[in-house]
């Protein structure tokens, strides 16, 4: 018997990248992380020992909406481990960005997000922002904070839902295709 393409259904988004670029836009780099940052989360500029840095947004932050972006890892180094314990490419891109490490800040274009609060009510045209207390999908980094249409931190509604929400899981986990409100893409 030979394998059939598509015979393994996607039953959740936990192992998928937190965020990927669907259509290229503006990328700002050469900035270091101030504190640990989860890839795919909302970040804003911060002064880091006299140099520009980025921090993950938390409760109580008051970011300027024009400066809010999405954090992604700069380099995706293959896992040097072999065998059963080796990390795959999706697991590598989702590893936390350590304080002091370099990161990319995506500022425009379109993205596919899986670090999204599991909800069934995302519709095209709706604004999406960073919700600090939002529940993350199963299999994502521990803690709270995800992109959502509810409980959004002021100054972070930087996205508009571009395509209908694709649900992959029993708990409304899925892939949300969004575009930055500041771009024409």
Helices (H) and strands (E) in the chain, counts: 1, 12
- The answer to whether residue 7 scores a pLDDT higher than 70 is no
Spatial separation of the C-alpha atoms in residues 74 and 3, rounded to whole Å: 35
12-58 pLDDT, tens per residue? Answer: 899 899 999 999 888 877 799 999 999 999 999 999 889 999 999 99
Per-residue pLDDT, 1: 45
Threshold 0.85, pTM exceeds: yes
- The answer to whether residue 69 scores a pLDDT higher than 50 is yes
The token pair at 59 is: 């409760």
- The answer to whether residue 75 scores a pLDDT higher than 80 is no
Helix, strand, coil percentages (3-state) for the chain, rounded to 5, are: 5, 35, 55
- The answer to whether residue 185 scores a pLDDT higher than 50 is no
H/E element, 10:
none
- The answer to whether residue 5 scores a pLDDT higher than 80 is no
Three-class SS state of 67: helix
């Amino acid at each position: 018997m030979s394998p059939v393409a598509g015979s393994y259904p996607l039953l959740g988004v936990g192992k998928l990248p937190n965020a990927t670029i669907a259509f290229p836009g503006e990328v700002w780099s050469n900035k270091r992380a101030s504190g640990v940052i989860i890839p795919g989360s909302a970040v804003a500029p911060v002064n880091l020992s006299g140099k520009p840095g980025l921090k993950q947004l938390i409760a109580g932050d008051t970011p300027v909406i024009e400066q809010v972006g999405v954090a992604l890892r700069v380099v995706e180094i293959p896992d040097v481990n072999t065998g059963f314990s080796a990390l795959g490419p999706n697991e590598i891109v989702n590893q936390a960005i350590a304080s002091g490490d370099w990161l990319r800040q995506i500022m425009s274009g379109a993205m596919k997000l899986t670090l999204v609060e599991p909800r069934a009510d995302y519709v095209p045209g709706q604004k999406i922002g960073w919700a600090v207390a939002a529940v993350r999908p199963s299999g994502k980094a521990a803690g709270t904070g995800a992109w959502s249409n509810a409980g959004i931190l002021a100054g972070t509604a930087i996205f508009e839902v571009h395509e209908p929400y694709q649900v992959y899981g029993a708990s409304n986990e899925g892939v949300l295709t969004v575009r930055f409100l500041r771009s024409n893409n």
